[in-house]
Structure 1
Amino acid sequence: MFWIICAATTLIVGLAIMAPLLRARGSAAEPAAAFDLRVYRDQLREVERDLERGVIAPEDAERLRTEIGRKVLDADRRLSQATAGGAGGRGLLALAVLAVLFAGAAALYLREGQPGRDDLPIARRIADAQQAYDSRPGQAEAEARAPRPQVPPVPEDFEVLIDQLREAVEKNPDDPQGLALLATNEMRVGNLAAARAAQQRLVDLRGEDVSPDELVRLSALMVEAAGGVITPEAEAVLARALQADPAHPQARYLLGILQLQNDRPDRAFPIWRRLLEEGPDDAPWIAPIRAAITDLAWLAGHPDYVPPAPLPGPDAEAMAAAEDMAPEERQQMIAGMVAQLEARLAQQGGTPEEWARLISSLVVIGDADHAREIWAEAQARFASQPEALETVRQAAAEAGLAE
């Protein structure tokens, strides 16, 4: 089917290009030289008639014949040139150029493309993605394949401290603080496998009391040690963290990466979209999500998705100036920023997170009554979106405006 469409498109384009030239070849205007040639021949016949009637003398007739004859030869030469270089010649040249272009395109595709590859319907793609997911390498295999990261040279005094820390942990392997410090510093010097092992020991030591942050840290170290691959073991730790805290942002970010690694943008997009909308804008995962979300949305079947604009905030100069302001002036500056946010939401709309921020900010600057009005407006705006309304409701509840 693909080749039939390509051939039909090529034929249509070629005919569209050739049609004007072919029409010009069949119905071209008569060259000026042909008209001149007929005129000169008529003049020769007129000279012969005048000579027969005795209107002109024989010597004048001979002079006119010679002069008109030169013009006939010139017109005949110009007519031959016009015929040889006319529309037909241009049409053949254009046809040759088109043939070369089409042949070059076909040769390029045969070299760089995959003409023998089968079509990939959605069911086949999902099956291939599941196969890739099931055939992932284990943690040990992935770590063995992973290249060693490039790290700057470690200062001698810092290396001494790391050795002392290793000795201390070896003497007291059940010290949580020592294990946490060892995992952090082994990662700094590029010993990712050792960092992962120390964090694993810490997680095992915590048992049921392990925190989601410690689990996510272990999963991230496993991914780093495996060269960026989220192995089944790392996924299991990640699932454990999400079971303890389903809203953990870094765990959800890693879950989105897992879906991307297994060619499931349709699953990754809703995860990253929610993270982007929740913010905050200075979170470390927001920048990579914002850079990829448009392409990810297209791959996931949402080509019309428009990511939310970064939430407005003070720039560095405004923050520096605020440090030198009196409390009243600082309050006025904050009120101005809140007013700008409210005006933008009124004119352009915004995400639930922006409405939540507006409610919280109004309460902070002491305008709780107006915050209640905004909360009421948000309830009407997001009445048909329960999840979005819940985001705003949480902010209103924290501000004491809702239960």
Structure 2
Amino acid sequence: MFWIICAALTAAVGLAIMAPLLRARDGAAEPAAAFDLRVYRDQLREVERDLDRGVIAAEDAERLRTEIGRKVLDADRRLAQGAARGPGGRGLVALGVLAALFVAGVALYLGEGQPGRADLPIAQRIAMAEQVYQDRPSQAEAEATAPAREAAPVPDDFAALIAQLREAVARSPDDPQGLALLATNEMRLGNMAAAREAQQRLVDLRGDRASAAELVRLSALMVEAAGGLITPEAETVLARALQTDPTNPQGRYLLGLLQLQNDRPDRAFPVWRRLLEEGPEDAPWIAPIRAAISDLAWLAGQPDYVPPAPLPGPDADALADAQDMTPEERQQMIAGMVSGLESRLAQQGGSPEEWARLIASLVVIGRADHARMIWAEAQTRFAAQPDALDTLRQAATKAGLAE
């Protein structure tokens, strides 16, 4: 079916281009110079009629005859040149170029394309993605094949401190503070395998008391040591972290990355979309998500998705100025920011998290009655989105507007 459609479209476009060229070759189309010549001769006759009726003077008639005569000579010359080249000269050249482009296009596709490749229904694509997921290398295999990192220059005094830290951890392998510090500094030096090993020992030492942040950090170090690949072992640690704290943002970012690496944008998109809407804008995972979210939405089957605009906030100068403000001036500045957020949401709309932030901010600055109006409006806007309503209700409850 695909080839039939392509052939039909190519034939239709080719005929549309060739039809006027073939008419010109057969002499059915009148040259432009012949039309111009007829017009100029009619103009000369019109000048004579105007002169006979006394509409124009003899001097004006002579001037017009001379001007139109030059145009007649030019048109006649162009007509003679076209006849000398033959009626189909330019048409044949154009047809030749069109044929060459068609042949070149077919040759390029046969050479660079995949004409024999079979269709990939969605079920087969999902099956292939599942196979890629199952065939991932282990952590040890991925680390063995990961590209080597270029070592950063280390000052002598810092290198001496790291050596002392390693010796101290070797003497006290059950010191959680030493293990955490060693993992941090090995990571800064680019020794990801060593950082991962130190963090693994820390997590093993914590046992069931390991926090979600410690587990996510271990998973992230495993990913870095594996050259960016989320291995089955790293996924196990990540699942444990999210089971401990399902809201951990870095863990959710890695979960979306895992789905992307295994060709499942439909699963990655809702995870990253929620992270982007929650913010904050200066979180380290927001920039890569914002750069990829539009393409990810298209791949996930939601081409109409529009990512939320970055939330405006005070810049460094504004924060510095706020230190010198009186409480009244600082309150006015905050009120202005809240007013700007409300204006943007009213004009452009926004995510449930932005509406929740507006509700909470209005209560903070003492405008609880207005916050209730915004809460009511938000319930109307997001009536068909249970998850969004839940986010808004939590904000309203914390602000004392709902039970």
With normalisation by structure 2, the TM-score equals 0.85
Q: SS where residue 366 of structure 1 aligns? A: coil
Structure 1: how far apart are the matches of 2:79 and 2:139? 83
Structure 2: how far apart are the matches of 1:184 and 1:8? 63
The match for 1:241 is 241
Please say which of residues 383-392 and 258-267 is displaced more in the overlay.
383-392
Contact 1:138 1:232 in 2 (8 A): yes
Structure 2: how far apart are the matches of 1:84 and 1:3? 43
Structure 2: how far apart are the matches of 1:78 and 1:147? 69
The match for 1:269 is 269
1:29 and 2:15 correspond = no
The match for 1:132 is 132
The match for 1:384 is 384
Q: SS where residue 339 of structure 1 aligns? A: helix
User: Structure 1, residues 63-85: CA drift from partner, whole Å, max 9, x if none?
Assistant: xxxxxxxxxxxxxx999864452
CA pair 78-248 structure 1, distance change in 2 beyond 3 A: closer
AA at the equivalent of 1:286: I
The match for 1:164 is 164
Aligned residue pairs total: 360
1:122 and 2:122 correspond = yes
Structure 2: how far apart are the matches of 1:79 and 1:351? 68
User: Structure 1, residues 200-241: CA drift from partner, whole Å, max 9, x if none?
Assistant: 111111111110000000000000000000000000001111
CA pair 217-21 structure 1, distance change in 2 beyond 3 A: same
Structure 2: how far apart are the matches of 1:132 and 1:283? 31
Contact 2:142 2:227 in 1 (8 A): yes
Give unpaired runs (5+ residues) of structure 1.
36-76
Contact 2:136 2:232 in 1 (8 A): yes
Contact 2:152 2:190 in 1 (8 A): no
Structure 2: how far apart are the matches of 1:226 and 1:82? 71
CA pair 28-376 structure 1, distance change in 2 beyond 3 A: closer
The match for 2:342 is 342
The match for 1:308 is 308
With normalisation by structure 1, the TM-score equals 0.85
**Structure 1 residues 4-153: aligned runs within 5 Å:** 4-26=4-26, 27-29=28-30, 82-83=82-83, 85-153=85-153
RMSD after superposition: 2.0
The match for 2:371 is 371
AA at the equivalent of 1:344: R
User: Structure 1, residues 20-43: CA drift from partner, whole Å, max 9, x if none?
Assistant: 1112233133896xx9xxxxxxxx
Contact 2:183 2:195 in 1 (8 A): yes
Structure 2: how far apart are the matches of 1:173 and 1:246? 30
**Structure 1 residues 167-246: aligned runs within 5 Å:** 167-246=167-246
AA at the equivalent of 2:10: T
Structure 2: how far apart are the matches of 1:258 and 1:185? 26
AA at the equivalent of 1:299: L
Please say which of residues 20-29 and 276-285 is displaced more in the overlay.
20-29
Contact 1:265 1:300 in 2 (8 A): yes
AA at the equivalent of 1:252: R
Please say which of residues 182-191 and 5-14 is displaced more in the overlay.
5-14
Structure 2: how far apart are the matches of 1:319 and 1:20? 69
Structure 1: how far apart are the matches of 2:373 and 2:3? 61
Q: SS where residue 174 of structure 1 aligns? A: coil
Contact 1:277 1:353 in 2 (8 A): yes
The match for 1:54 is none
Structure 2: how far apart are the matches of 1:320 and 1:292? 33
Shift of 1:358: 0.7
Using the aligned pairs only, state the percent identity. Answer: 77
Structure 2: how far apart are the matches of 1:341 and 1:199? 41
1:284 and 2:301 correspond = no
Q: SS where residue 102 of structure 2 aligns? A: helix
Q: SS where residue 21 of structure 2 aligns? A: helix
Please say which of residues 141-150 and 338-347 is displaced more in the overlay.
338-347
The match for 2:323 is 323
User: Structure 1, residues 148-184: CA drift from partner, whole Å, max 9, x if none?
Assistant: 2224211111111111111111111111111101111
AA at the equivalent of 2:341: L
User: Structure 1, residues 256-283: CA drift from partner, whole Å, max 9, x if none?
Assistant: 1111111111111111111111111111
User: Structure 1, residues 41-92: CA drift from partner, whole Å, max 9, x if none?
Assistant: xxxxxxxxxxxxxxxxxxxxxxxxxxxxxxxxxxxx9998644524422221
Q: SS where residue 88 of structure 2 aligns? A: helix
Report which of the two structures shows the higher radius of gyration computed on alpha carbons.
Answer: 1
Contact 2:196 2:225 in 1 (8 A): yes
AA at the equivalent of 1:89: G
AA at the equivalent of 1:5: I
Structure 1: how far apart are the matches of 2:30 and 2:177? 95
The match for 1:50 is none
Q: SS where residue 239 of structure 1 aligns? A: helix
Structure 1: how far apart are the matches of 2:294 and 2:78? 62
Please say which of residues 229-238 and 391-400 is displaced more in the overlay.
391-400
Contact 2:21 2:95 in 1 (8 A): no
> Where has structure 1 moved over 6 Å in runs of 4 or more?
77-80
Structure 2: how far apart are the matches of 1:120 and 1:135? 20
